[in-house]
Amino acid sequence: MMDNRPIGFLDSGVGGLTVARELMRQLPHEEIVYIGDSARAPYGPRPAEQIREYTWQLVHFLLTKDVKMIVFACNTATAVAWEEVKEALDIPVLGVILPGASAAIKATKSGKVGVLGTSMTIQSDIYRQKIQALSPETDVSSLACPKFAPLVESNSYQSSLAKKVVYETLGGLKGKVDTLVLGCTHYPLLRPIIQNVMGQEVKLIDSGAECARDISVLLNYFEINRSRTAEKTGHKFYTTASPAAFRDIAESWLDRTIDVERVTL
Ligand code: DGL
């Protein structure tokens, strides 16, 4: 069996592009419909009830695009609403947290894992819970990095301000963990700076890349891969803010030209 419909991706903004990029690399035949809510990003500092409401709006938008699967390419939305959306829909819904948690357990040698995330993700304590449910001995140090996602949304993730902010935020974690989960899909854009501050010996876990591997497993399991001979319609990107600003970040990160349209939810 095959299913040629696209895979839906949602995020508060451009962060989910880190997951989309991995999917394009790992499964080049699949097509993506992406919605980023940049007009209301960051989600991290918002109350859970509001994140839940916004996430449902993104889900309903993707359902109008006839997607065969939805990927929560946002840790914050996963922490707040993934369980209930997954229960409510009859298509597979994948989050980024479980794949990241398992990868961290696999990678750590010292048993000391750090987790970076938005205020909501860290406050939810979900990474610690998922990691320790699988591996109770693993020590988890969690750190909220509320300044990181805005640096990425404003396309200043390579700036000297970004270096300063990352250095000041992560200074205290250096030397304490051998594995660090980038528990927000915006953070892989800051990866070179984070790696530099933490030291080359620290293993960084990109929850998005881990998630792309799980998408592949689910497509196989449900036998809903896209046929290699299906006609290409192209990936489609939607943003709630400026398409030009979205395109700037997306085209450089994905290294291709893309089709972006503005939507109101
Ligand atoms: N990209 C998101 C995440 O993975 C959220 C960033 C934000 O909007 O605060 O958590």
Please pick, among 24, 74, 249, 258, the residue that the annotation labels catalytic. 74
- Residue-averaged pLDDT of the chain: 96
pLDDT given for residue 207 in this prediction:
85
Cα-to-chain-centroid distance, residue 263: 21
| Mean pLDDT value of segment 124-150 | 97
Among the listed residues 185, 194, 206, the one whose alpha carbon sits nearest the alpha carbon of residue 249: 185
| Ligand 1 close to Cβ of residue 41 (< 6 A) | yes
| Ligand 1 close to Cβ of residue 188 (< 6 A) | no
pLDDT given for residue 179 in this prediction:
98
Cα-to-chain-centroid distance, residue 108: 21
pLDDT digits (tens, 9 = 90+) for 199-246: 999 999 998 888 988 999 999 999 999 999 999 899 999 999 999 999
The strand ranges marked E within 24-110 are: 32-36, 69-72, 93-94
Confidence class for position 165, pLDDT limits 50, 70, 90? very high
pTM of the model as a whole: 0.96
pLDDT at 29 over 90: yes
| Mean pLDDT value of segment 85-113 | 97
145 included as an active-site residue: no
211 included as an active-site residue: no
CA distance 17 to 155: 13
